């Protein structure tokens, strides 16, 4: 499989290394300094594009691939207000676009556990829910895409919550789920779901020990997406 890497920071580099160890080839390594190199690439030689760049570059990177018939998966967060536009472009071009806020298999299992717990907590009273996420200081967006996905899973299943709020005062905002974002090196990613009451606290936590789980998950999706069409997600890949 010939893979184009759109974004060649720490994640892109790790994806490249792991891809080659699995017998794949790298068709190109594109970042902000060499984006003009896209003009000389032959789309017919590219089997899939993996996009882990920056929020300000993600949309153009994804459009470039979709318009050239290249299946693309993206893990960049912070641009999702434009995701409906990308989904429409995918359908218009009969392309394949896959988005996940987190490609770790463990995290995606954690998403399911989070929703299950939220359903159970909706049947009781006296608990306040919250989300906390901790990442390295190089992460620009806050809250993380993973934290937003977790928050959406809680809001969907708990009566009375209608939105999330990133602020110290969020606990005081009616119908709002508070998200706390911390930036501490070298944390690759920790997410904590907490239900607190006067009697006790209930917590579930996912702690990533390295970026390897994220990178490997992206490669597994890239292998899986071959021959598929449409707007796809981790639910399609994992078939829960």
Tokens of residue 2, six digits: 């010939």
Listed in order, strand segments (DSSP E) in 39-127 are 48-51, 72-74, 96-99
Q: What's the start-to-end Cα distance of the chain, in Å?
A: 26
Q: C-alpha distances in angstroms, 37 versus 28, 43, 61, 130, 197?
A: 8, 12, 12, 44, 56
The residue from 24, 135, 191, 206 that is catalytic is: 135
DSSP of 78-92: S-GGGHHHHHHHHHH
CB 47 within 8 A of CB 1: yes
Annotation says 206 is catalytic = no
Q: Is 5 helix (H, G, I), strand (E, B) or coil?
A: strand
Catalytic residue status for 135: yes
- Asked if residues 69 and 46 have their Cβ atoms less than 8 Å apart, the reply is no
- Out of 83, 119, 139, 229, pick the active-site residue: 139
Q: Catalytic residues, which ones?
A: 135, 139
């Amino acid at each position: 499989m010939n893979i184009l890497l759109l974004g060649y920071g720490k994640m892109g580099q790790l994806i490249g290394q792991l891809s080659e160890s699995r017998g794949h080839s790298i068709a190109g390594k594109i970042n902000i300094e060499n984006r003009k190199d896209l003009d000389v690439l032959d789309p017919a030689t590219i089997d899939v594009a993996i996009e882990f760049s920056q929020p300000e570059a993600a949309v153009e990177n994804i459009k470039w691939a979709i318009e050239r018939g290249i299946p693309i998966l993206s893990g960049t967060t912070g641009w999702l207000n434009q995701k409906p536009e990308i989904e429409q472009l995918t359908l218009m071009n009969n392309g394949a676009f896959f988005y996940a806020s987190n490609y770790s298999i463990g995290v995606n299992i954690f998403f399911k556990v989070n929703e299950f717990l939220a359903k159970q907590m909706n049947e009781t009273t006296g608990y306040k829910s919250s989300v906390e996420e901790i990442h390295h200081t190089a992460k620009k967006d806050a809250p993380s895409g993973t934290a937003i996905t977790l928050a959406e899973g809680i809001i969907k299943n708990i009566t009375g919550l209608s939105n999330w709020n990133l602020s110290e005062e969020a606990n005081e905002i009616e119908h709002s789920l508070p998200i706390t974002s911390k930036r501490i090196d070298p944390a690759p990613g920790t997410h904590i779901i907490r239900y607190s009451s006067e009697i006790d606290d209930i917590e579930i936590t996912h702690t990533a020990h390295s970026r390897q789980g994220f990178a490997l998950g992206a490669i597994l999706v890239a292998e899986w997406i071959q021959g598929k069409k449409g707007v796809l997600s981790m639910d399609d890949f994992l078939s829960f």
